[in-house]
Amino acid sequence: MFEKNMGGLDRAIRVVVGIGLIAAAVTGSLGQWAYIGIVPILTAAIGSCPAYKLIGIKTCKTSSES
């Protein structure tokens, strides 16, 4: 359904940032807006970022690059 356009490091960073934002929202360090951390977690889970597709970025290796 979605073309993979994110590499492993990119995905890992998104998970860490997403968890950090959600933890900050739960503890009250940041406002409710920090629940937006679910977005980077979801994009990391599917391996595809719509914004990357719009601007033509691809951080994953393809079979032609290896």
The residue count for the chain: 66
What is the chain's pLDDT, residue by residue, as a tens digit (66 residues)? 678 889 999 999 999 999 999 999 999 999 999 999 999 999 999 999 988 889 988 888 875 554
* Side-chain half-sphere CA neighbours of 66 within 13 A: 4
Asked whether 11 and 41 are in contact (CB, 8 A), the reply is no
pTM of the model: 0.81
